[in-house]
Amino acid sequence: QLQLQESGSGLVKPSQTLSLTCAVSGGSISSGGYSWSWIRQPPGKGLEWIGYIYHSGSTYYNPSLKSRVTISVDRSKNQFSLKLSSVTAADTAVYYCARVQSTIYAFDIWGQGTMVTVSS
Amino acid sequence: QSALTQPASVSGSPGQSITISCTGTSSDVGSYNLVSWYQQHPGKAPKLMIYEGSKRPSGVSNRFSGSKSGNTASLTISGLQAEDEADYYCCSYAGSSWVFGGGTKLTVL
């Protein structure tokens, strides 16, 4: 059973870069037919799609965050990462990593989520 | 890329049926049969309940069903149970991107 686990800094200062990693276990991140995505949820609010990386390495980002977001894959460690630069308090949220089944275009497996607070 | 529109809350009694609507545009819901629905209990990660508008993943109760008409998708839960009380989010593929709805809180009375 494939599982995802987020990790990274829980507290980031304003204007700095948020960095998170999603470790994939129980399967290979290089398996064809899947993409890997980041989604966030501010406290008490709804879900926001951040971006995804296809198994080929191609990346696609939410237009509202595109200038600040980088998603990358480390196949040797079977994990993918999120970097969000120039953060503000508005970036405070629970960040989820998720697998996208490319045939159904849905997020079928999610990590448990990790809370990131932007504060000085 | 604007969020899909969902009612903030719906409620129903055990055994009843409820429907949650999700309205998008011709650029997302209206263009693709790729609407998915997620259930989220407090403090938990979302769970996929419906994909491709009306299909259920293995293990999801057949009390959950989905449909779409034009730019609006719908999730229907029949035979409401206490465990169905949660937040529900719709999501639509929009061409190399996804957009979520604002979420609907379901209360089982």
- DSSP per-residue letters across A31-42: -TTEEEEEEEE-
Q: Tell me, what's the pLDDT at A62?
A: 96
Distances (CA, A) of B86 to A56, B9, B22, B27, B71: 36, 10, 16, 28, 24
Which residue in A has a C-alpha nearest to residue B34's C-alpha? A105
Confidence of residue B48 (pLDDT cuts 50, 70, 90): very high
Q: Tell me, what's the pLDDT at B75?
A: 98
Average pLDDT, chain A: 96
Q: How far is B15 from chain A (nearest CA, A)?
A: 28
Q: Tell me, what's the pLDDT at A48?
A: 98
Confidence of residue B103 (pLDDT cuts 50, 70, 90): very high
Other C-beta atoms closer than 10 Å to the C-beta of B89 total 26
Residue among A47, A60, A110 whose CB faces B96 most closely? A60
Q: How many degrees, rounded to 5, is the angle at CA B45 between CA B28 and CA A100?
A: 45
Q: Tell me, what's the pLDDT at B72?
A: 98
**What is the share, in percent, of chain A residues with pLDDT greater than 90?**
92
Q: Which residues of A touch B101 (CB under 8 A)?
A: 46
What does the alpha-carbon distance between residue A113 and residue A98 come to, in Å, rounded to a whole number? 10
pLDDT in tens, B88-99: 999 999 998 999
**pLDDT exceeds 80 at position B1:** no
Q: Which residue has the higher pLDDT, B22 or A32?
A: B22
Confidence of residue A55 (pLDDT cuts 50, 70, 90): confident
> For an interface test with A, which of B40, B55, B58, B98 has the most A Cβ atoms less than 10 Å from its Cβ?
B98
17-76 in A: which are within 8 Å (CB) of B? 37, 39, 46-49, 60, 62-64
Over residues A56-85, the mean pLDDT reads 95
Q: How far is B88 from chain A (nearest CA, A)?
A: 10
Cβ proximity of A15 and A87 under 8 Å? yes
Structure tokens at A105: 């275009």
Over residues A73-80, the mean pLDDT reads 95
**pLDDT exceeds 90 at position A32:** no
**DSSP class of residue A57?**
S
Q: Tell me, what's the pLDDT at A65?
A: 97
Confidence of residue B35 (pLDDT cuts 50, 70, 90): very high
**pLDDT exceeds 90 at position A102:** no
**pLDDT exceeds 80 at position A5:** yes
Confidence of residue A31 (pLDDT cuts 50, 70, 90): confident
Q: How far is A51 from chain B (nearest CA, A)?
A: 7
Which residue in B has a C-alpha nearest to residue A96's C-alpha? B45
Q: Tell me, what's the pLDDT at A56?
A: 80
**What is the share, in percent, of chain B residues with pLDDT greater than 90?**
97
Q: Tell me, what's the pLDDT at B20?
A: 98
Residue among B1, B51, B93 whose CB faces A63 most closely? B1
Over residues B9-27, the mean pLDDT reads 97
Q: Tell me, what's the pLDDT at A110?
A: 98
Residue among A49, A64, A108 whose CB faces B48 most closely? A108
Q: Which residues of B touch A104 (CB under 8 A)?
A: 34, 36, 51-52, 55
